[in-house]
Structure 1
Amino acid sequence: MTETADAPAPAAAATLSAIELIGVVKTYQSRGEAVHAVKGIDLTIAQGEFFSLLGPSGCGKTTTMRVIAGFEEPTAGEVCLQGKNVTGVPANKRDVNMVFQSYALFPHMSVFENVAFGLRRKGVEKAEVTRRTAEMLEIVDLAGREKRRPKQLSGGQQQRVALARALVNRPRALLLDEPLGALDLKLRQAMQVELKRIQREVGITFVYVTHDQGEALAMSDRIAVMNDGVIEQLGSPREIYEHPASKFVAGFIGTSNLLTGTVAESGADTAVIRYGADERITVPVRGVFAEGAELELTVRPEKIDLRLEAPGNGACQITGTVTEVVYLGTSTNYNVRTSAGADVVVFTQNASSADDIAVRGDSVWLSWEPEHSYAIGTEAAP
């Protein structure tokens, strides 16, 4: 575990970014070929922010975190912590700690000794070790379990010990590399809430690496969605979910329906796609599209209303045939093949009726508000 300084940050540091990456590139040599893991990332993470690096395996998110931690040196670019360039500074000299998916607890030590280990190693006075360790165990809700060994704890409790051990040293930032990956679904969801609570209480910058979109959306202040070594989109969870900047982001974050069509008419801020006499989609856009231009758009499944009768003269309404119905308890998912040949997923809440709206083979209408259509590409409206 990385050692950190005990001295509190000077007041002036509060205005500095916690972490800044400037043109960071990381290239490996594999079998004589250059592998570009990170391709020129510029990124600023604020003090006290819960920031997530999100993306599929091999996108460069873990490499980026290891560069921040000092376990990897960038091929090009700079890494700054609290405004200070730490490129080339070894990991144990950087004021950050890291928590991995494998908690790496000492099995022969008690919970208390595991958490106190780093403080004792740095020669902190005994009374201070006791005070700070007890304080941290209280924050992670492990008070009263100080004498237990790791094998006597649940997976979630072991993870909280690993967090306490990293946080007790008071690092400037805590880096977490998929720490919930070994937990079952229910415990993982509970720990998401716990992690956010702990981060809020200690006020330390968290940088979280995950491939799980739900985790990132639930916990983060901001998210960087990575793909093939670059950041595809950076923003708040709501911005990224509601307004994906690319086809990749739209498909990777949650479930999204991707539709295409040709523009039948266009105004200053909207374009209209027509599929049939009564089928149309109105899309907010930036600029005027030429008639006949192809337009790609996305709409989220929970934004769509499914019904058997025509909804009227709506701005967004298309027809289709139900191909699958999946009951999930709180909701029912409908797969619909549209008249244009696209496959669309619709989520409906099961609050008002115990019966399905439609069954396989039914002809249905899908409708939604124009603001829930989002054009993919550089001309999409914000």
Structure 2
Amino acid sequence: MATTTQETPAARGAGTTGAPAAPAISLEGVGKVYRSGHGTITAVQRIDLEIQQGEFFSLLGPSGCGKTTTMRMIAGFEEPTSGTVRLAGRDVTGVPPNRRDVNMVFQSYALFPHMTVADNVAFGLRRRKVPAAEIRTRVAEMLELVELSDRARHKPTQLSGGQQQRVALARALVNRPSALLLDEPLGALDLKLRQAMQLELKRIQREVGITFVYVTHDQGEALTMSDRIAVMNKGVVEQLGTPAQIYETPATRFVAGFIGTSNILTGAVHGVADGHARIDYGDDQHVLAHADGAAPGVDLILTVRPEKIHLGVEKPNETLSRIHGTVREVVYLGSTTHYTVRTVDDTEIVVFQQNSSDASNLAERGDTVWLSWRPEHSYVLPG
């Protein structure tokens, strides 16, 4: 696959002058407003974003957040109301999709049912009148990459959903675009196959070495595959960072609640000691958190992830955050058990406990338990 990688702009990298390569994709103040008889709808609010060469980048957010509109503006299927779209440093605002060096893969694979797998992959090359010998070589390379060489003569109807998805991917990659845009391509697959394809997509992206931009509402997909993630909400990017940064240090309450499961706690600081702010909840309960600049009386909003919390019947050490409550729900999920605990102020806290071979259920519904976690696991949300 070396030839394929070397011939893409992403692989070429720096120019002959030795200057750093331009980002694969740049959005500068890009916004999109739709006009209707009832006024205007702002789908995307002036995004500034750079996606680097060879990066697996995800646009993540709920339905209606603007992620698909953003991708369609990159592809050229939508024109921005404001701002500039650049591909490898070139301004492509207003340039039609067929003249942009990107390809797009949709949730609907749109394979030609009357064509073989090989002919589906070769379709774009034939339209561009690429020599037949080169077509055969490039199609063979792509089918090997997606591990479908033995299905070259099959029709799409003879393939599984995951195999059809890989054919669509090969068809997009065979044109050697500088970036590949994927709009929720795994949405039609069942859970187990979707999880397997996540690893396949990451492997393929790593081997080909081009930029992938992935749109999804599935947090697990984004965390599994991405080098960086832009979390979108109501047309804006609420946070941009690596999967670990997004998960461990959410920038907003929305991000904390949208990425995985998070427990949100609030309260006023009662005191600060040893670098820890302390929020008292009465009855010997308190939460400790690192909070730079916190002072008594300041209100804090903090989050703690369910897997960071320990559940037990004994009162924990006072150097830990500790809250007691009543178990309301117990859900066994094989590798973990999920507990929902109602605290004395009617806050519900979710706890994930790993199931080990020598452990039985720690608590049953109706039991009174103590929850505890280390101060560094209480993350104070900015602002």
- TM-score of the superposition, structure 1-length normalised? 0.95
Of residues 161-170 and 10-19 in structure 1, the stretch that sits farther from structure 2 once superposed is: 10-19
Number of the residue aligned with 1:125: 131
Q: What amino acid is aligned across from residue 314 of structure 1 in structure 2?
A: T
TM alignment of 1:101-112, pairs within 5 A: 101-112=107-118
Q: 1:97 is paired with a residue of what secondary structure?
A: strand
TM alignment of 1:10-89, pairs within 5 A: 10-13=12-15, 15-89=21-95
Give the C-alpha shift of residue 288 in structure 1: 2.8
| Cα-Cα RMSD | 1.4
Task: State the distance in 2 between where 1:167 and 1:31 align.
Answer: 41
Of residues 219-228 and 335-344 in structure 1, the stretch that sits farther from structure 2 once superposed is: 335-344
Q: Which runs of 5+ in 1 are unaligned?
A: 1-5
1:355 and 2:360 matched: yes
Of residues 29-38 and 178-187 in structure 1, the stretch that sits farther from structure 2 once superposed is: 29-38
Give the C-alpha shift of residue 122 in structure 1: 0.6
TM alignment of 1:1-382, pairs within 5 A: 8-9=8-9, 10-13=12-15, 15-266=21-272, 269-289=275-295, 291-378=296-383
Q: 1:201 is paired with a residue of what secondary structure?
A: helix
Of residues 39-48 and 277-286 in structure 1, the stretch that sits farther from structure 2 once superposed is: 277-286
Q: 1:15 is paired with a residue of what secondary structure?
A: coil
Give the C-alpha shift of residue 360 in structure 1: 1.1
Q: 1:144 is paired with a residue of what secondary structure?
A: helix
Give the C-alpha shift of residue 266 in structure 1: 2.8
- TM-score of the superposition, structure 2-length normalised? 0.95
Summarize deviations over 1:278-301 as a string: whole Å, max 9, x none: 211111122133x22221110000
Number of the residue aligned with 2:3: none
Task: State the distance in 1 between where 2:275 and 2:87 align.
Answer: 42
Task: State the distance in 2 between where 1:304 and 1:81 align.
Answer: 45
Q: What amino acid is aligned across from residue 52 of structure 1 in structure 2?
A: S
Q: 2:200 is paired with a residue of what secondary structure?
A: helix
Specify whether residues 224 and 184 from structure 1 end up closer, same or farther in structure 2 by C-alpha distance, changes over 3 A only. Answer: same
Give the C-alpha shift of residue 31 in structure 1: 2.8
* Identity rate, percent: 66
Of residues 140-149 and 345-354 in structure 1, the stretch that sits farther from structure 2 once superposed is: 345-354
Are the equivalent residues in 2 in contact too, given 1:270–1:284 (CA < 8 A)?
Answer: yes
Are the equivalent residues in 2 in contact too, given 1:314–1:367 (CA < 8 A)?
Answer: no
Give the C-alpha shift of residue 32 in structure 1: 3.0
Summarize deviations over 1:268-287 as a string: whole Å, max 9, x none: 95311011252111111221
